[in-house]
Amino acid sequence: MLPENRKTTSRGARGVRAGLMVAGVTALAFIAAPHLYSNQSLLFTLMTFIVLAQGLNLLYGFTGYLPFGYVGFFGSGAYATSLLVLHAHWPVLACVAGGTAVSVLLGLVLGPLLRLSGAYFSIANLAASQILYFVVSNPNLSDITGGPYGLKIEQVYDPDLSYWVMLGVLLLTVGLAAWLRASRFGMSLRAIKQDAVSAAMAGIHVVRSRLIVWLLSAGVAGLAGGVYAWNLSVFYPDAVFTLQLSVFAIVFALFGGVGTVIGPMVGAALLYSLYSVIGISTPQYFQLIYGGLIVLLVLFLPGGVLSLFERRGIDVF
């Protein structure tokens, strides 16, 4: 075996072990959490934000494409799942799977946006999500989408089961991030992020690689949206298409450190915990503290809080 192949294999084995360890610790934490903290709804929301931050990290952390309208996939998954529950009458898990497929299909339709780069891609993606929002909230489509009045799927309401399913989604997302971190495909994505022209000259299929991770990211958001709708059972367009969800996912991922597995998880856990302590009771102070943290992050820790460990030579997975 060539030295490069042995090195890649060794890196992949370490990545698998590290991924299993992160997944195991995460599972134990959220299995024990309901017994230690009574607000299961808050824990569910935290898992949702971790999934969204990790899903965004799959795209931005490994390709450099920042989707301002990432919430569009989340909302489409929530609506597609709910419409399948109401009209197809499938079992709820099949409806969630169908909603995820719709988000992936939407990602495929929006695939040409990947021909753009930088701010052009981000703005175009945001515009696409806003178009979706105006379509589902259109009063003329109330008989189909519920319009501005939202949807109700109370017949499948099950906060306990949906909590455990969201935990499974979280572990799946961690597994995807760990795979990208350690695999040859993830290495090719990082090469594309650094220099797409050089990567193409080295034999990497740039367009196909970007499209694959774009669809994976869309599927993660759609899956989270479907389980979120199941957990709430009653929701409005503003709840699942709000730009705040995209902003939170972006900030959480950046705060922890993109391109890593545990970075988005750390960012979401720290900032959402801060929000739950300060933001709910005194939102004006939260916005002040939140804004200050973002400014400090951009100025002094552009690589996220985990970059503090990397500066000391500690490898962060």
pLDDT tens digits, residue range 240-258? Answer: 998 888 888 988 998 888 8
Q: Is the pLDDT of residue 290 over 60?
A: yes
* pTM: predicted TM-score of the whole model, two decimal places: 0.91
Phi first, then psi, for residue 235 (nearest 5°) are: -155, 165
Q: Which residues, in sequence order, are bridge partners of residue 235? A: 151
What's the pLDDT tens digit per position in 34-88? 888 888 999 999 999 999 999 999 999 999 899 999 999 999 999 999 999 999 9
With cut-offs at 50, 70 and 90, classify the pLDDT of residue 4.
very low
pLDDT higher than 80, residue 311: no
User: If pLDDT is split at 50, 70 and 90, which confidence band does 297 have?
Assistant: confident
Q: State residue 1's pLDDT score.
A: 46
DSSP code for 151: E
Question: In terms of pLDDT, which residue wins out, 298 or 219?
Answer: 219
CB 193 within 8 A of CB 64: yes
State the pLDDT confidence band at 2, using cuts at 50, 70 and 90.
Answer: very low
Q: Is the pLDDT assigned to residue 283 strictly greater than 80?
A: no
31-44 pLDDT, tens digit each: 998 888 888 999 99
First to last CA, the chain: 26
Alpha helices in the chain (DSSP H): 3-36, 40-63, 71-83, 92-109, 118-136, 142-145, 159-182, 184-194, 196-201, 206-232, 237-241, 243-256, 263-274, 283-300, 307-311
* pLDDT given for residue 22 in this prediction: 80
Query: Mean pLDDT in the chain?
Result: 87
For residue range 264-282, what is the model confidence (pLDDT) as tens digits? 999 999 888 888 877 666 7
pLDDT band at 299, cuts 50/70/90?
confident
Q: What is the mean pLDDT of residues 208-215?
A: 94
Burial of 145 (0-12, 13-18, 19+ CB in 10 A): buried
The answer to whether residue 100 scores a pLDDT higher than 60 is yes
Residue range 208-237: average pLDDT?
Answer: 95
pLDDT reading at 123 higher than 50:
yes
| pLDDT over 70 percentage in the chain | 91
How would residue 156 be classed by pLDDT, with cut points 50, 70 and 90? Answer: very high
Which pair of tokens denotes residue 248?
A: 């939170």
Residue 290: how many other CB atoms lie within 10 Å:
17
pLDDT band at 237 (very low <50, low <70, confident <90, very high): very high
